[in-house]
Amino acid sequence: MSIALKQVFNKDKTFRPKRKFEPGTQRFELHKRAQASLNSGVDLKAAVQLPSGEDQNDWVAVHVVDFFNRINLIYGTICEFCTERTCPVMSGGPKYEYRWQDDMKYKKPTALPAPQYMNLLMDWIEVQINNEDIFPTSVGVPFPKNFLQICKKILCRLFRVFVHVYIHHFDRIILMGAEAHVNTCYKHFYYFVTELNLIDRKELEPLKEMTTRMCH
């Protein structure tokens, strides 16, 4: 990554503090292994496969947190150009519109401007990954029985950030010289969710043509 690009991505553009893993724990070691996947020259398709002898929930947990941090950062770099005026609806082109529902304030799917949707989404994910009952940090504390279902929903919604950024703001990513970095993050995400079957194929449709060119 170029120095200029590092400066773009090192600015404090994330909406919220990063969730970290405690050094010395097994999950921290898995986290380091997952992060190393973004180094140049790594075969991402092989890197996302569950390491032999490792617990799938641990592997998914570190990736969900890592993807949240990375995608949050990517959106943070273009968020000043994603406004209620430019993006009055959270969409991925004319065919796809995403409505927000969280069973709290928004009990029914509700059309919202993209920046409002993104803020609600990042808040919603942050609450879950910081909930010890869902993402336990203590060794030996089990994951909840519905852990994978929760992660599937988080990853599905994070994918929508990629959809919106690629379709509506990719010109800005190119202007910043961040195209290669964002593409690598996307490929890593795509290979991971398809390797472990964590996103319904129909959710991947909005970026299908681009993904075919990039990942196959």
CA–CA separation, 83 vs 66, rounded Å? Answer: 26
How much is the pLDDT for 155? 98
Q: Which residue has the higher pLDDT, 79 or 103?
A: 79
Establish whether 164 is an annotated binding residue: yes
How much is the pLDDT for 26? 52
Average pLDDT score over residue span 32-52: 72
Architecture of domain 64-215: Up-down Bundle (1.20)
Tokens of 179: 């195209």
Task: Look at residue 5 and tell me whether its pLDDT is greater than 70.
Answer: no
Establish whether 87 is an annotated binding residue: yes
Establish whether 79 is an annotated binding residue: no
How much is the pLDDT for 17? 46
